Structure 1
């Protein structure tokens, strides 16, 4: 969900001329998003935060115990069960500088969509090891670029398709065009990888297509820019403390759970 209000055609043209290979990463600069948009309920969460991240995290928290018990039960019964899988969806636009650890809902920032996608990556980085100890494999997929109704009413569909085919014929990566091709990475992680031990939590599995439209999956390194990494008493200069981010998100989860109980 992207709260798009308009598209800055001038910035889009500049981005295309300056760095066409990374045009997907500049959409945050090109799309003008509504700032401070919140859910229409008592919580008043950031709209993009709630739609793109919070609902998914709440589902994981509610099912985590069930997934752990099911994994243990089926392993004990020797049914060949290798563990549950949690597949997060990120985006090329999830640039680290678009996420503010002091405003995780991005109520004040100009990039609520990008912020929510970067938050997904950060929570995955924080929880993947703990989940794996429970037999739950956390991985990150990236659907690439496809024609959806995200900008419906802002940019004509035919123009989006023309632009996407132009990008593909310029050999730009991950221009999937159709949602079917975009879902390739999720299907790959869910059913094509039979041994979950092959799943790398430090990798982003991105949907991609060849010049002729054949779908495939690319493996990219999950970026850690801005993340505070500590060893003993020494920490890097990153401004994102993963533990604090997870604690803040858990506090939100507990708040929702208390109200809905």
Structure 2
């Protein structure tokens, strides 16, 4: 059986660009599964991939990582289709209702902090979160917990037969320790749920290596850099398109002075694609692998140590296990109530 590659959030942006790169490199070498929330968009994405690679094996899987029942149902489907999953790209993510501090933004434009501001969004971005039907914070559920539950559900096909399997998280340069509180892992009390969730992904990746490496499962984290995707455009939803056109030359200019401005989804997938080629056991569990692009447009991957520690990662892991247990119990009680 060919290798199986599953990508969450695969119908646009970084996820779709990754699928295109993988297929361009090796059409016959693996089975590609696009796990998406919106199946209409997923079908359009699949059609586009098959138009370029008609002999590729591309299937669709409906999954909403913000929904516990959706993740469990999708996981059952995966286990019915495949007896193994070799590469699991944990890419789906949201940044709902982002708010840009206009005053801080324009102040930053004329300061020495301009590059850091654009590259990380630190100091200028906040978001308004909301609860899911399961009663979880939406960003936490979508970006972190749904993926954690997916990994737990897929253990039989991820840890199987002495093989090596790989988890690859799409994190962010916006993952800041200052936004995360281990006593408030869902970020109920803060205004930076996206940053908190991405920092939690970094921590969780380290904990997963601690608990699963002996079973052949290895986890890594990447940062795509500053990429123009729907997530980026959503920061300024009412921003006139001509202003984005005006800003783009500025972004290209800034790229002459920093390598973090990857700008295109294709460049942003550089680290994701590079990791696909590596032996997972040879990678540094405490490094985040960054997609970088030179001023001349040459892309490359570089590891950088994450601002994480083993003790905090273990506390987060234990809290997620407890939350998993609690949520499964609630789901069971809900089903029993409906059946009564």
- Equivalent in the alignment of 1:12: 105
Q: Measure, in 2, the Cα distance between the counterparts of 1:165 and 1:218.
A: 25
Correspondence for 1:209 among 293, 316, 325? 293
Q: TM-score, normalised by structure 2?
A: 0.63
- Give the secondary-structure state (helix, strand or coil) at the position aligned to 1:2: coil
For 1:168-247, what aligned pairs fall within 5 Å after superposition? 168-170=252-254, 171-190=257-276, 192-193=277-278, 195-224=279-308, 227=309, 229=311, 241-247=312-318
TM-aligned CA deviation for residue 105 of structure 1 = 0.8
Q: Measure, in 1, the Cα distance between the counterparts of 2:172 and 2:179.
A: 12
Does residue 102 of structure 2 align to residue 31 of structure 1?
no
TM-aligned CA deviation for residue 157 of structure 1 = 4.8
Superposed CA RMSD: 2.2
- Equivalent in the alignment of 1:95: 176
TM-aligned CA deviation for residue 199 of structure 1 = 1.3
Q: Measure, in 2, the Cα distance between the counterparts of 1:176 and 1:38.
A: 33
Q: TM-score, normalised by structure 1?
A: 0.81
- Equivalent in the alignment of 1:61: 152
Deviations 1:195-232 (A, max 9, x none): 333211111111111112222112111112xx475xxx
Q: Measure, in 2, the Cα distance between the counterparts of 1:161 and 1:93.
A: 24
Matched-pair contact (CA < 8 Å) for 2:116–2:122: no
Matched-pair contact (CA < 8 Å) for 1:161–1:177: no
Matched-pair contact (CA < 8 Å) for 1:164–1:175: no
TM-aligned CA deviation for residue 60 of structure 1 = 0.8
- Give the secondary-structure state (helix, strand or coil) at the position aligned to 1:116: helix
Deviations 1:151-198 (A, max 9, x none): 4324345544654542442322221111121111111112x22x3332
- Give the secondary-structure state (helix, strand or coil) at the position aligned to 2:300: strand
Matched-pair contact (CA < 8 Å) for 2:207–2:317: yes
TM-aligned CA deviation for residue 244 of structure 1 = 2.4
- Give the secondary-structure state (helix, strand or coil) at the position aligned to 1:51: helix
Matched-pair contact (CA < 8 Å) for 1:184–1:215: yes
Matched-pair contact (CA < 8 Å) for 1:6–1:154: no
Q: Measure, in 2, the Cα distance between the counterparts of 1:255 and 1:59.
A: 16
TM-aligned CA deviation for residue 123 of structure 1 = 1.1
- Give the secondary-structure state (helix, strand or coil) at the position aligned to 1:120: helix
Residues 257, 166 of structure 1: CA spacing in aligned structure 2 closer, same or farther, 3 A cutoff? Answer: same
Residues 93, 158 of structure 1: CA spacing in aligned structure 2 closer, same or farther, 3 A cutoff? Answer: farther
Unaligned 5+ segments in structure 2 are 1-93, 333-340
Residues 8, 96 of structure 1: CA spacing in aligned structure 2 closer, same or farther, 3 A cutoff? Answer: same
TM-aligned CA deviation for residue 96 of structure 1 = 0.3
The runs of at least 4 consecutive aligned structure 1 residues that moved more than 6 Å come to: none
Q: Measure, in 1, the Cα distance between the counterparts of 2:246 and 2:283.
A: 35
